[in-house]
Amino acid sequence: MAILLAAAGAQAALVPCRQPADTGKVADALDRLRHSVDPCGESPQVLAVIERLEHCAGARYEICTDGITRRNLLEPHDADEPGTIIWNPTLRSELERGCDGDPARPVVRDPVASLLHEMVHAVDDCEGRDASAHELEAVRIENIYRRAAGLCQRTAYGDTPLAAETVKLCSPVHCECSSAAGASAGQPMPPATTQRQGPAATGETPADLAGDGPRAHGDPRH
């Protein structure tokens, strides 16, 4: 079977979902990613994620749509089976609060940004890294598309903040593209080795599986 699939095309690393899936929405999202233009000039990094995933020799990945899941997710590949990106193309739930200088404004999931986030995890998995250990990098790449689409950027994965130098400042109408590290108004960031002082604000901890945000409920899959 592997031989048949490998012969299916040059872009063999990205394969159709084995279950019925909304392939039109997947194609639309990939098209939006390919044509997005980050005002801070980092869109080539988005293209590189797509390229590396399409050409990764280490494994195959399917993108499966799921209109019910409340968290997008990558299930890593194993020896015989492809990895699976489980993607809800309608999920727009809140990830954090605080956008464009307004601390009350919610940052919500965006389906295209979420798919990109999971594709970063798939590249990690394909290239032999533990995807769940690189959440902040997935959020950083996700933010490149968010800036291109004029969306609020994420500043954290759960309770873990992005490094200040990787957060580009944007106002509602314009991205200055300087880093939050240079902003005097920014909150002090913890050192690279996160030191928790007291219980986490939300009580949530990142899941073992690499998702687009910490799980809110127990995940039966390990």
**Residue 162: what residue type?**
L
E strands, 83-145, are 83-87, 94-99, 102-108
Closest approach of Cβ 34 to Zn ion, in Å? 21
Beta 94-99 vs 102-108: how paired, if at all?
Answer: antiparallel
Closest approach of Cβ 20 to Zn ion, in Å? 25
Per CB under 5 A, residues contacting Zn ion are 135, 138, 210
Closest approach of Cβ 212 to Zn ion, in Å? 5
For residue 83, the cross-strand partners are 61
- Tell me the C-alpha distance between 85 and 62, whole Å: 6
Nearer to Zn ion, 134 or 147 (CB): 134
- Which residue in 171, 111, 116 sits closest to 143, CA to CA? 116
Closest approach of Cβ 151 to Zn ion, in Å? 17
**Residue 112: what residue type?**
V
- Which residue in 145, 192, 202, 141 sits closest to 164, CA to CA? 192
Nearer to Zn ion, 122 or 169 (CB): 122
Closest approach of Cβ 73 to Zn ion, in Å? 8
Nearer to Zn ion, 169 or 212 (CB): 212
- Tell me the C-alpha distance between 111 and 130, whole Å: 23
Nearer to Zn ion, 49 or 138 (CB): 138
Query: What count of Cα atoms within 13 Å lies in the side-chain half-sphere of residue 88?
Result: 15
Nearer to Zn ion, 38 or 135 (CB): 135
